[in-house]
């Protein structure tokens, strides 16, 4: 499995292909990332690389993480993620990863964290249709019954109001439209999860 990149979602725009068709694309600042640690089967039990993205001031890094970066001769990074590898893949600590890992037309998958919506009711969170709007009804947006009464409890999985959004979401089958190595930008066709400035993980599609 090839390694991936960490990036920051900048927003959406549109570009035109060779046929003049308008394509909606998401612009991501991907990298540059650095290989902080190389995990090997002999010492860690699996093959992977730990990738860091985004510089972090030393004063904002806690002591355990400062020691970790110092042991691997790396500057503190804001984000750390791991990518599994095959045993024969050659990545070394300190190696820089850029958008040159990807090329236009390549199929990828993008992981992000959806926008947080806070505490939401049943109609917004689950699409409930709500109660009657007329004829004296006093119940409009409440979820009504909590379920069976003889059980004296609420069954697991009951759809009800609660925290909405801010969940890890992976979109597969996306396509790279354009790569700009000088500005570390990658244009991805379609929408990807998360708000502007949110962290995204880009991997080649399996």
Burial of residue 91 (CB within 10 Å: 0-12, 13-18, 19+) is: middle
pLDDT at 2 (0 to 100): 63
Do residues 193 and 112 lie in contact, with contact meaning Cβ atoms separated by under 8 Å? yes
Which CATH number is 5-117+173-204's, of 1.10.287.370, 3.30.479.30, 3.30.9.10, 3.30.160.810?
3.30.160.810
Give me the tens of pLDDT residue by residue for the chain, a chain 206 residues long: 568 899 999 999 999 988 999 999 999 999 899 999 999 888 889 989 999 998 889 888 899 999 999 999 888 999 999 999 887 778 888 889 999 989 999 999 999 999 999 999 999 999 999 889 999 998 899 887 877 778 888 888 889 999 999 999 999 999 999 999 999 999 999 999 999 999 999 999 88
pLDDT at 33 (0 to 100): 92
The full set of domain ranges for the chain reads 5-117+173-204, 118-145+154-164
Backbone angle region of 20, left / alpha / beta, with phi > 0 → left and psi within -120 to 50 → alpha: left
**In angstroms, how far is CA 140 from the centroid of its own chain?**
36
pLDDT at 1 (0 to 100): 52
Which residues are within 8 A (CB) of 37 and not within 5 positions of it... i.e. 6 or more apart?
49, 50, 72, 93
pLDDT at 90 (0 to 100): 82
Rounded distance, CA 15 to CA 6, Å? Answer: 23
| 5-16 vs 22-30, strand pairing mode | antiparallel
Q: What is the dihedral of CA 11, 17, 22, 23, to 10 degrees?
A: -40
| Tokens standing for residue 153 | 């409890």
């Amino acid at each position: 499995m090839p390694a991936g990149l960490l990036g920051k979602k900048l927003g959406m725009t549109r570009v035109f292909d060779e046929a003049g068709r308008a394509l909606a694309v998401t612009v991501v600042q991907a990298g540059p990332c650095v290989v902080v640690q190389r995990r090997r089967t002999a010492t860690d039990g699996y093959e992977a690389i730990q990738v860091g993205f985004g510089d972090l001031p030393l004063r904002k890094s806690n002591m355990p993480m400062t020691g970790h970066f110092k042991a691997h001769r790396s500057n503190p990074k804001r984000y750390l993620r791991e990518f599994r590898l095959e045993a024969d893949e050659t990545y070394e600590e300190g190696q820089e990863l850029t958008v040159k890992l990807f090329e236009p037309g390549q199929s990828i998958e993008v992981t992000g964290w959806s926008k947080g919506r806070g505490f939401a009711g049943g109609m917004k969170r689950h699409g409930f249709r709500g109660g009657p709007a007329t004829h004296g009804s006093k119940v409009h947006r409440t979820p009504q019954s909590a379920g069976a009464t003889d059980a004296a409890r609420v069954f697991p999985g009951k759809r009800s109001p609660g925290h909405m959004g801010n969940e890890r979401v992976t979109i597969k089958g996306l396509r790279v439209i354009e790569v700009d190595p000088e500005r570390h930008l990658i244009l991805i066709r379609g929408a990807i999860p998360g708000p502007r400035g949110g962290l995204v993980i880009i991997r080649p599609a399996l």
